[in-house]
Amino acid sequence: MEKHALVLMSGGLDSTTVAAHALREGWAVRGLCIGYGQRHVREIESAKAVAAALGVPLQVADAAFYGGLAAHSALTSAGIAVPGGRSTTEMAADVPITYVPLRNTFFVTAAAAALESWMLARIERDAADPASLRAAVFVGANAIDYSGYPDCRPEFYAAMETVLRLGSKLGSAYGVGIGIEAPIIHMSKAEIVTHAAALGAPLHLTWSCYEGGDAPCGACDSCLLRAAGFAAAGIADPALRGG
């Protein structure tokens, strides 16, 4: 069985852990990092560094137009402040302003399009047996410490799998569904850190902060969740100076 994976890579802790996980599980891995018009490109540089460290070929797609469409977000609009210093209770109270409208829907669709193209080439150009192929988009979604994002829930990805099967040539003509693998979706942040460390993932290269700059802000939701995860795991964060 040929197992082909496309990992959505953001340069952060979660997607880096997922990429290392996919490699350990024997998938042929390619990475996709999407520049969607976010407020900084620091995470894209981290994605490049992580992919290089893992030996994963990475495509960086320029979709800056998307930020203009999904403008009501602190991550796509400089005029909207990134919240800081919030408790986990406050984070989970509602969908935060750092939610980017339908970003994961767009990301998964784009990744599936690239993956389907590769699989169709294997079937229609290389005469591969469809029954010998398995294809999946790997995502770093997490439904435990998910900061209130609706598009990080298991039911969202289950619905997207159905959409990809029904809407693709790969699924409708050849019976090869495009799966969505979310191996850390039920893990706590501490469990993710522990799993990443066991995999030898290059966490020192990762960037999770919603802000840009040379060092993480330490106050945004993503920074706080990351710090809490490392603390609970009893592991120093190697991405921090002195960590």
Q: How far is CA 113 from CA 59, 85, 108, 159, 193, in A?
A: 13, 38, 9, 17, 30
Residue 71 lies in a domain: yes
Residue 228 lies in a domain: yes
Long-range contacts of 154-159 (CB under 8 A, 24+ apart): 154/182, 154/185, 154/186, 156/104, 157/108, 157/182, 157/185
CATH of the domain at 63: 3.40.50.620
Residue 30's SS3 state is: strand
pLDDT by residue for the chain (243 residues), tens digit each? 999 999 999 999 999 999 999 999 999 999 999 999 998 899 999 999 999 999 999 999 999 999 999 999 999 999 999 999 998 888 878 899 999 999 999 999 999 999 999 999 999 999 999 999 999 999 999 987 656 789 999 999 999 999 999 999 999 999 999 999 999 999 999 999 999 999 999 999 999 999 988 899 999 999 999 999 999 999 999 998 644
Residue 191 lies in a domain: yes
CA torsion through residues 61, 67, 70, 72, sign: positive
Distance CA 185, CA 139 (A): 9
CA torsion through residues 11, 14, 15, 19, sign: positive
Residue 132 lies in a domain: yes
In terms of residue numbers, what domain contains 33?
Answer: 2-233
Number of domains in the chain: 1
Residue 179 lies in a domain: yes
CB atoms within 10 A of CB 83: 17
Q: Please give the radius of gyration of the chain, using alpha carbons only, rounded to the nearest integer.
A: 18
Helix, strand, coil in percent for the chain, rounding step 5: 45, 10, 40
Residue 239 lies in a domain: no
Residue 242 lies in a domain: no
Residue 241 lies in a domain: no
